[in-house]
Structures are given as structure tokens and as C-alpha cells.
Amino acid sequence: MKMNADEKTASDWVDGVTDSLYEAFKEGQGVSLTGLGSFYLDFRGHSCAFKFNPSQKLKKLLGWSSTYTGDI
């Protein structure tokens, strides 16, 4: 693993991040993860859509139009 942590520590970290995401979504908030993008809920009437807006770096990695100028 890139963070040089044992599997238990990494698993606990992922669980904590996931729980934080769920709490934010339950409150109707969006979440931004630097370098990855933004996740948010789009409420329209009685329905709700889960949305993702990728970061400029991720867009460049995927070959999409991007303003990111660094190396990938």
C-alpha cells in the first residue's frame, strides 16, 4: 500500500472515510476529495440522483478536456 500501513489500519481508515461520506450525504451535503473529484446528491422533486464531478487531474488522466497542466 502506498500509505505504508498494515491491512487493518488501512481498512479502518477506509471505513472511517466511508462513514463520513454517508453522514454528509444523509445531511444533503456534497463531499470533495482532492485529486479525485466531488460527490453530491442532486434532488429533483421526489427523486434524488448521485452525481460525481471528476477533478481536472482525473479528467486529464482519462483523456477528457482538462485545464490540469501537471504530469500524470
Whether residue 1 is contained in a domain is answered as: no
- Amino acid at position 37, single letter: G
Assess if residue 32 is contained within a domain: yes
CA distance 57 to 36: 8
Average pLDDT, integer, range 53-66 = 96
Is 13 inside any structural domain? yes
When divided into structural domains, the chain yields a total of 1
What CATH number is associated with residue 27? Answer: 4.10.520.10
Does pTM top 0.85 for this prediction?
Answer: no
Q: At residue 4, does pLDDT exceed 90?
A: no
Within a domain: 50: yes
Q: How far apart are CA 59 and CA 52, in angstroms?
A: 12
DSSP 31: E
Q: Which residues contact 10 (CB under 8 A, 6 or more apart)?
A: 1, 3
- pLDDT tens per residue, range 28-59: 899 999 999 999 999 899 999 999 999 999 99
Closest CA relative to residue 51, chosen from 70, 72, 67, 28:
28
- Domain span at residue 19 reads 7-61
* Residue at 31 is within a domain: yes
